[in-house]
Amino acid sequence: MTRTGDGALLLLRHGQSVSNAADVFTGWSDPALTDLGTAQARAAAATLRDLGIQPTCVHTSLLRRSIRTAEIVLDGLGLGWLPAYRSWRLNERHYGALTERDKLTVAAEAGPATFRQWRRSYATAPPPMSDAAAARMYADDRYTRLPPDARPRTESLADVRARTLPYWSDVLYPQLLSGATPLVVGHGNSLRAFVMHLEGMAPADVERLDIPTAVPMRYRLGTRGQPVVDPGGRYLDPIAATEQVRVGPPAGTAIG
């Protein structure tokens, strides 16, 4: 296996979580991976290994489905010792009052138009989380040191993009310019925000974008330092990616 060493950015959505399987809004809640999610992470490692792609460091959110997926992938590559960076900026979109609620129930209560706006629109955020629920969430040790403006009560995809882009410009982009190959193990919406930026997508286009579960993506830097998609497409296992998108968003593949 050889290092890419040419400014390649690897993106990977975490494996299926318990909440994904139950088809509830996950957001900043912290469920574990399912057995299927663990298998998906191992398959992602196999894809990278078979293609001879080796990251030089890993970045995760503060949520264990992201952290555990990264651990499984690195173990599968024999790279458990790589430097690991964790940030709240890579967390999933905060679903506010919808967090941990069943999606079918929410859809029935809100109606199809409002439900779609909450789930898929670029600029519309769900109703905010209650004071009591937010107090419980942010009492967690991983968040107690965050400033108030880094503790959302709800987010749109535009909000997610606003908090992820500083991580791109301040952390990931400098690593890429140095020739590193960072692996970012994120979430459906945090990765949608990155892809939107990397590919210059308009809001209407990103609203239609799904990120398949645990299918590695790769981007390279262009001749002027700009991030560009590989000529063969963003996915390193295009068949797996196509299968997930073609069957639509059932439990375990839906965003959120």
Q: Which residues are catalytic?
A: 14, 92
Rounded distance between C-alpha atoms, residue 53 and residue 43, angstroms: 14
Rounded distance between C-alpha atoms, residue 107 and residue 32, angstroms: 25
Residue environment code for 182-194, b if the CB has 16+ CB neighbours within 10 A, otherwise e: bbbbbbbbbbbbb
DSSP 223: T
Crossing angle of helices 112-120 and 103-110, rounded to 10°: 130
Residue with tokens 């286009």: 205
Are the beta carbons of 87 and 167 closer than 8 angstroms?
Answer: yes
Rounded distance between C-alpha atoms, residue 81 and residue 73, angstroms: 12
Residue with tokens 């809640």: 29
Enter the tokens of residue 201: 């997508």
At residue 183, the 3 state secondary structure works out as strand
